[in-house]
Structure 1
Amino acid sequence: MNRLKSVVLGVLACGVMASIHAEESGQAVVARIGAGWMAHMVCSGVFVSGRSVESVMSAEFGAGADPALRALAPEVDKGRKRVTVALPEAIGGVATAVYRKGLGCTIAHGAGSAEALQAVSTRPLKGAARAKRPWPMGMAVSRDVEGLDYAALDAVLEEALQHGADAHGLGTRAVAVVHKGWLVAERYAEGFDASMPVYSASMSKTVTAMLIGTLVREGKLDMARTGLRPEWRDDSRRGISFDHLMRMVSGLEFLEQYAAASHVNIMLMNEPDMAGYAASHRSIVRPGVRWSYSSGTTNIIMALARETFEDDRSWYNFPRVALFEPLGLRHSVFETDEAGTFVGSSFIWSTAQDYARLAQLLLQDGVWEGERLLPEGWVAYMSSPHDGTDGGHYGAQTWLRNSAMPGEASNLIAMSGYGGQSVIVLREEDTAIVRFGWDFGLDESFDERKFVADVRTALRPSAD
């Protein structure tokens, strides 16, 4: 999604250390960002995805990464489930990420924080006991949906899988297509499969919006509420509403771009309390006036959601109880920051099948097996633009247009994640198209427009 990449949909990979040779005053900050990124990605890649250290390093930190980043080396302690990365000698120190059951990996900041983090865990999702049943209740692909040209559809997915196929984990990793409530096709690159959760980056934002919807349905959150944080109540930020945050029109200053020491990278890699860091930024324009893509606002949203829970145990179980298990998600992990707040902007690890289930809930207007999980009108809220300040491209934590389908906002809900993750939800066609990838270091970008067009053609061959 070229349109989306222009605003940066997650933390950096190839660019996170692009300025590691920056001015002396910022060198330590940039180095900590790079080391933290490596520690976190290796930790999650090994302990959440189940990949080898060599697989993660050759792909995520191979040819597409900056040479300064490739010069770093992770130390993986499989016994204690920790990953440490030593910073350059001139700076000193290490970045450490720790794994916790049910909560994935988190960067530990400061003495004793690794031990404190690993004292907390939660129950993982239930296993795939019904794997042979048809999706969505199981994991089996349905090959008998009437009217589909399966040969054509299979050919499209095979072509998508060839993108980066000889590049050691780069390019397309997983593709899946859901049509009329059935999983009709899926393909996985070598080393990846239907049960392996991978990094979904900013697709997490749309999942956050869905989780917020469950709290709205329970009457715990009000989109019109203002005065959201104590530090905002005596200045211009007091007028920021929950709706402003959901639509990214809060007016808060937040730099989300490829500069290595940008706000988004400092937040994700260097800050133990990501929401607190984002909320500390000043207001630079009146709320509701200007759209500005911001991972910071998503994490503020999650911190506000956390306030509705009486205890941490209930909070840590929230995604699983409210959404993941009701939908039958089997292999998804939502990670937190050190403060314990789910990183709604960026850190869900999941599978193509699980994201397809989330997309199916959107196609069904928030109803699953006869039970309304999202309040009536919530999907319409998520998929309606604010007031044109974003050019009609964005709803509530959700994209409405992208380069794959320009000009078709009325039909489209899109999730997009940095590096090549996307879910295209075509409401009028009762279809969802999922693609996971890692596209850095490749000579050619993935042609998502062609991929989506070819899938649509295969699903309705009689129209051509």
Structure 2
Amino acid sequence: MKRFKKILRYGFIGIVGLIVVSVFWNYPKLTILSGYSAKNMASSVFIGNRTVEFTDVNDNNFAPVNLADDEVNTTEKSAIASVFGLKERKAIFREGLGSVLINDDFDEKAPYVTPTRSKSKTNLPFPYGDLPQKDTVFTSIDYNKINDVVNSIFDKEGARIKKTRAVLVIHKDQIIAEKYADGLDQNSILLGWSMTKSVLATNYGILQKQGKININQKAPIKEWENDERKEITINNLLQMNCGLAWDEDYGSISDATTMLYIDEDMTKPQIYKEAIHKPNEYWYYSSGVSNLLSGILRKQFDSYQEYLDFPYREFIDKIGMHSMLMETDMAGNYVGSSYAWATVRDWARFGLLYLHRGNWNGEQIFNPDWVDYVTTPSPTSEGDYGGHFWLNSGGFYPDAPRDMYSANGFQGQRVFIIPSKDLVIVRFGLIGDAGVDFNTFLKEIVSSIQ
């Protein structure tokens, strides 16, 4: 009996020891987990107009983020999250700028500048206005098949495998299929995650059309002037082949997670990374590059107000994407890597702008050759990536048209643009390729149109 008690005692000590070691190694990660939960909760509630309960059950219901507990203050528009009461983080909502994780040094009561918006309604049918689209039936479309395909990408009742939240299919400017998961509809505002990168890049296409920037010029970064990084161009940044070190890992404390959930100024982390390759020699996906580009964009204007206004004035509000909101970091920079919100129909408008090569109902927002640029494969990307857009020229989706390109985001957010079929397909969800067979989905959608 004594021996048995001794074994139990040592076993208990061993278990406690393992728990202590586990907490020690994972304690720093709790900052990231609680930060993700607080930020996502604040944005979901105060931008997406969803409840705390809905967000807990859906948006934040995946390991290990679901370890965090959230408290929302609707009066001050904030969310606080912690994991087992540890590493408490706070996010606040500011009208026009979205939600932002803050630290102890942030002055919540300080006045702030907001973007100027123009949200006048247009007396035209969708997509160029706010009226219902004209009734149009295409004899070339098998509507029964396309509805079956769209339904197939949603989970059956009770299942949580495909986790699709919304699908919209547009052919020749007409919605030919649209479906939403329970609790969402055409007015629901959804986070595009890294689809924001494509929105950010569009600003460079507009500036180039206006003759205010040349993307082949050297990146205007003072810290790079006296070393090999001085050869990096804006083009290298847009194509993600600048050769700078970066760790884009979301399962650990990495460059990406530190930037998004700890750093005050998200435009700076990539600046201080060393060059491990020469430009055009190595392609590597980096959210740090996108936020660096947001910082470079800010330098193109004489005032902060002009920087805030530019995306909305020059194309977002101009093409009727009035639901879109681009969030900023603590330093006031657009988080160009990750944080743009809009309805599914407004994300579709973005896809249509590119489908029509920058022309929006007769007005040229950016030059047609900008589309040629963003769809040209970046060197060493194996045909998968262009200028802040993903490509299918390398056959990533083997049964989809090779001219297809897309804005892609975390958890399977997609705006697919297929010029050869006059198609824009938008899909929102909570899981990507790991749960959804996009190749078959795209193949069947395309085959539904003769």
> Normalising by the residue count of structure 1, what TM-score does the alignment of the two structures yield?
0.86
Q: How has the CA–CA distance of structure 1 residues 150 and 337 changed in structure 2, closer, same or farther, with 3 Å as cutoff?
A: same
Read off the aligned partner of 1:202 and give its amino acid letter.
Answer: S
Report the alpha carbon displacement of residue 257 of structure 1 after superposing the two structures with TM.
2.0
5 Å matches for 1:37-436?
A: 37-62=36-61, 64-66=62-64, 69-86=65-82, 88-89=84-85, 93-116=87-110, 119-123=112-116, 126=119, 129=121, 133-138=125-130, 140-147=132-139, 148-160=141-153, 162-163=154-155, 165-166=157-158, 171-387=163-379, 389-401=380-392, 405-406=397-398, 410-436=402-428
Give yes or no for contact 2:67–2:83 (8 Å, CA) kept in 1. Answer: no
1:173 is paired with a residue whose SS is: strand
Deviations 1:177-215 (A, max 9, x none): 111122222111111111111111111111111121111
Query: In the alignment, which residue of structure 2 is the partner of 1:17?
Result: none
Report the alpha carbon displacement of residue 336 of structure 1 after superposing the two structures with TM.
1.1
Read off the aligned partner of 2:45 and give its amino acid letter.
Answer: V
Read off the aligned partner of 1:153 and give its amino acid letter.
Answer: I
Give yes or no for contact 2:113–2:305 (8 Å, CA) kept in 1. Answer: no
Q: Determine the C-alpha separation between the residues in 1 that align with 2:412 and 2:250.
A: 16
Q: Determine the C-alpha separation between the residues in 2 that align with 1:50 and 1:21.
A: 40
Q: Determine the C-alpha separation between the residues in 2 that align with 1:21 and 1:218.
A: 59
Query: In the alignment, which residue of structure 2 is the partner of 1:7?
Result: none
Unaligned regions of 5+ residues in structure 2, if any?
A: 1-18
Q: How has the CA–CA distance of structure 1 residues 75 and 131 changed in structure 2, closer, same or farther, with 3 Å as cutoff?
A: farther
Read off the aligned partner of 2:148 and give its amino acid letter.
Answer: A
Unaligned regions of 5+ residues in structure 1, if any?
A: 1-19
Report the alpha carbon displacement of residue 421 of structure 1 after superposing the two structures with TM.
0.8
- Which of 213-222 and 394-403 deviates more? 394-403
1:284 is paired with a residue whose SS is: coil
Read off the aligned partner of 1:239 and give its amino acid letter.
Answer: E
Give yes or no for contact 2:399–2:439 (8 Å, CA) kept in 1. Answer: no
Give yes or no for contact 2:418–2:424 (8 Å, CA) kept in 1. Answer: yes
What is the RMSD of the two structures over their aligned residues, measured on CA atoms? 2.6
Query: In the alignment, which residue of structure 1 is the partner of 2:29?
Result: 30
Give yes or no for contact 2:128–2:361 (8 Å, CA) kept in 1. Answer: no
Deviations 1:80-106 (A, max 9, x none): 1111123555xx553111112122111
Q: Determine the C-alpha separation between the residues in 2 that align with 1:415 and 1:21.
A: 43
Report the alpha carbon displacement of residue 36 of structure 1 after superposing the two structures with TM.
0.9
Query: In the alignment, which residue of structure 1 is the partner of 2:441?
Result: 451
Give yes or no for contact 1:227–1:233 (8 Å, CA) kept in 2. Answer: no
Report the alpha carbon displacement of residue 459 of structure 1 after superposing the two structures with TM.
2.1
Q: How has the CA–CA distance of structure 1 residues 152 and 125 changed in structure 2, closer, same or farther, with 3 Å as cutoff?
A: farther
Q: Determine the C-alpha separation between the residues in 1 that align with 2:364 and 2:171.
A: 21
% same residue = 28
| Equivalent residues, number | 430
Q: Determine the C-alpha separation between the residues in 1 that align with 2:113 and 2:79.
A: 17
Read off the aligned partner of 2:271 and give its amino acid letter.
Answer: A
2:259 is paired with a residue whose SS is: helix
Report the alpha carbon displacement of residue 369 of structure 1 after superposing the two structures with TM.
1.7
Q: Determine the C-alpha separation between the residues in 1 that align with 2:248 and 2:95.
A: 31
Report the alpha carbon displacement of residue 167 of structure 1 after superposing the two structures with TM.
5.3
- Which of 50-59 and 450-459 deviates more? 450-459
- Which of 258-267 and 301-310 deviates more? 258-267
Give yes or no for contact 2:32–2:258 (8 Å, CA) kept in 1. Answer: yes
Read off the aligned partner of 2:200 and give its amino acid letter.
Answer: T
Deviations 1:150-200 (A, max 9, x none): 33322322232x326535897111100111122222111111111111111
Q: Determine the C-alpha separation between the residues in 2 that align with 1:381 and 1:32.
A: 39
Read off the aligned partner of 2:382 and give its amino acid letter.
Answer: G
1:215 is paired with a residue whose SS is: helix
Report the alpha carbon displacement of residue 309 of structure 1 after superposing the two structures with TM.
1.3
Give yes or no for contact 1:142–1:184 (8 Å, CA) kept in 2. Answer: no
1:228 is paired with a residue whose SS is: coil
Q: How has the CA–CA distance of structure 1 residues 23 and 71 changed in structure 2, closer, same or farther, with 3 Å as cutoff?
A: closer
Q: Determine the C-alpha separation between the residues in 1 that align with 2:439 and 2:118.
A: 34
Q: Determine the C-alpha separation between the residues in 2 that align with 1:286 and 1:414.
A: 27
Q: Determine the C-alpha separation between the residues in 1 that align with 2:131 and 2:415.
A: 18
Give yes or no for contact 1:393–1:409 (8 Å, CA) kept in 2. Answer: no
1:226 is paired with a residue whose SS is: coil
Read off the aligned partner of 2:102 and give its amino acid letter.
Answer: A
Report the alpha carbon displacement of residue 41 of structure 1 after superposing the two structures with TM.
0.4
Report the alpha carbon displacement of residue 419 of structure 1 after superposing the two structures with TM.
0.6
Q: How has the CA–CA distance of structure 1 residues 212 and 25 changed in structure 2, closer, same or farther, with 3 Å as cutoff?
A: farther
2:108 is paired with a residue whose SS is: helix
Q: Determine the C-alpha separation between the residues in 2 that align with 1:214 and 1:48.
A: 27
- Which of 145-154 and 297-306 deviates more? 145-154
Report the alpha carbon displacement of residue 123 of structure 1 after superposing the two structures with TM.
4.5
Deviations 1:212-259 (A, max 9, x none): 111111222211211521111111111111010000011110001233
Give yes or no for contact 1:299–1:344 (8 Å, CA) kept in 2. Answer: yes
- Which of 23-32 and 305-314 deviates more? 23-32
Q: Determine the C-alpha separation between the residues in 1 that align with 2:219 and 2:189.
A: 38
- Which of 46-55 and 404-413 deviates more? 404-413
Q: Determine the C-alpha separation between the residues in 2 that align with 1:282 and 1:326.
A: 39
Q: Determine the C-alpha separation between the residues in 2 that align with 1:159 and 1:130.
A: 35
Q: Determine the C-alpha separation between the residues in 1 that align with 2:138 and 2:400.
A: 27
Query: In the alignment, which residue of structure 1 is the partner of 2:8?
Result: none
Q: Determine the C-alpha separation between the residues in 2 that align with 1:238 and 1:104.
A: 34
Q: How has the CA–CA distance of structure 1 residues 445 and 24 changed in structure 2, closer, same or farther, with 3 Å as cutoff?
A: closer
Q: Determine the C-alpha separation between the residues in 1 that align with 2:181 and 2:411.
A: 16
